[in-house]
């Protein structure tokens, strides 16, 4: 018999914390099998523009052997290839924009950074921290309407468990903030936020290929692995994220310099809580954070029901901020600014986008399944075929 985690970090937590006693009794039972995603669906099917570009450059062996993507790594320094890469990504943005126009009646600015946060709605995944960043950007525009803000479109999508009131309240807050920001003429098209309804695989197949910045911002130590993070990077998105789940291994493959890593790591979170975490102290020391929270608490985004979002702000300020949103907020906002600054340099952004795709070979489901077959199931499997 065998027990496995689904990322190196997850397996480490199982061994050192969750099943520490069992591991001491059975030291060979727990092992690691990092998750993977299938390139047949998550590139070949959902991103035909990228498939076509790859086919012209390196053929199609990568469809069954994802390590072949390494062949495009030298092309990251080729200006002509970078131009083709940007054209491919613009086509994907156009297709997503057509979908948004159809279902929401909204026109997207294709020249903005597409900042995408799509996953199950849960407090530990910290969509709330992303909303606080949107409010912070909005306030910066209000304070200085002439400020040079890197234009950004922030996409949210995902579903909440039927009885999970806090998650549903987060969805409501996202929509209320989006309504306020999108209707304010002072924003001048520099910031848009939207929550796409009825998130599903077919919608992810449009969102992921069009994404510039992938949000993987769960509190470190909570995410077992994640596979959305892999799908985004495979399609050329740059990741802003914590050292959590498979983000750790992705940073080892892609290079941390080609991602935007922020916040406390798992040990840092554990030490923070063991030392008596005081979330309010972070608010006292950060005027932008204090202002964003005050706007939510005062009903700025829900004037007809000012106390609507009180459970959310109370969870942060009165109930201990279980998922350390306030502790990681400043690091997150600063790293977001770093991403925005890089986005202005489209040549360098494109170079890093290509490297993300080129270095994702490890994260194929073919590798993952082969490891299960060899180490756990004890069966022989053939090579994948189309």
pLDDT in tens, 98-145: 999 999 999 999 999 999 999 999 999 999 999 999 999 999 999 999
Q: What is the pLDDT of residues 303-343, one digit of tens each?
A: 999 999 999 999 999 999 999 999 999 999 999 999 999 99
Measured CA to CA in angstroms, residue 233 lies from 149, 166, 228, 270, 284 at distances of: 25, 30, 9, 28, 36
CATH value of 36-363 in 3.40.50.300, 3.40.920.10, 3.40.50.2000, 3.40.1280.10: 3.40.50.2000
Average pLDDT of the chain to the nearest whole number: 98
pLDDT score for 386 = 87
How far is residue 149 CA from its own chain's centroid? 21
pTM, rounded to two decimals: 0.97
Given a cut of 90, whether residue 147 has pLDDT beyond it is no
Q: Which helix (H) or strand (E) holds 100?
A: helix 79-104
Q: What is the pLDDT of residues 336-378, one digit of tens each?
A: 999 999 999 999 999 999 999 999 999 999 999 999 999 999 9
- 55-69 CB burial, b ≥16 within 10 A, e <16: eeebeeebbeebebb
């Amino acid at each position: 018999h065998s027990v496995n985690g689904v990322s190196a970090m997850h397996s480490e937590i199982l061994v050192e914390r969750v099943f520490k006693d069992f591991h001491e009794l059975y030291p060979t039972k727990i092992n690691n099998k990092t998750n993977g995603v299938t390139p047949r669906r998550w590139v070949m099917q959902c991103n035909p523009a990228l498939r076509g570009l790859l086919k012209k450059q390196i053929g199609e062996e990568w469809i069954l052997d994802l390590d072949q993507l390494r062949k495009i790594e030298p092309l990251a320094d080729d200006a002509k290839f970078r131009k083709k890469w940007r054209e491919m990504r613009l086509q994907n943005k156009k297709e997503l924009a057509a979908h948004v126009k159809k279902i929401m009646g909204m026109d997207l600015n294709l020249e903005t950074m597409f900042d995408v946060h799509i996953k199950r709605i849960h407090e530990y995944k910290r969509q709330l921290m992303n909303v606080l960043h949107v409010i912070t950007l909005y306030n910066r525009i209000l304070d200085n309407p002439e400020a040079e803000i890197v234009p950004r479109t922030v996409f949210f999508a995902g579903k909440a468990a039927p009885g999970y009131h806090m998650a549903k309240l987060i969805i409501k807050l996202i929509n209320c903030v989006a309504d306020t920001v999108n209707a304010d003429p002072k924003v001048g098209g520099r910031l848009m936020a939207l929550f796409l309804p009825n998130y599903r695989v077919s919608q992810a197949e449009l969102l992921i290929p069009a994404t510039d910045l992938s949000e993987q911002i769960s509190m470190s130590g909570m995410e077992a692995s994640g596979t959305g993070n892999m799908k985004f990077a495979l399609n050329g998105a740059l990741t802003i994220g914590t050292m959590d789940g498979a983000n750790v291994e992705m940073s080892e493959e892609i290079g941390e310099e080609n991602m935007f890593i922020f916040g406390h790591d798992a040990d840092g979170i554990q030490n923070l809580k063991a030392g008596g975490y005081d979330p309010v102290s972070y608010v006292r020391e950060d005027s932008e954070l204090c202002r964003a929270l005050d706007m939510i608490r005062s009903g700025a985004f829900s004037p007809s029901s000012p106390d609507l979002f009180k459970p959310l702000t109370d969870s942060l300020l009165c109930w201990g901020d279980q998922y350390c949103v306030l502790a990681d907020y400043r690091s997150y906002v600063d790293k977001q600014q770093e991403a925005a600054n890089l986005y202005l340099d489209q040549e360098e952004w494109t170079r890093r986008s290509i490297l993300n795709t080129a270095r994702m070979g490890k994260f194929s489901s073919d590798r993952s399944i082969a490891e299960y077959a060899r180490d756990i199931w004890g069966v022989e499997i053939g090579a994948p075929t189309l």
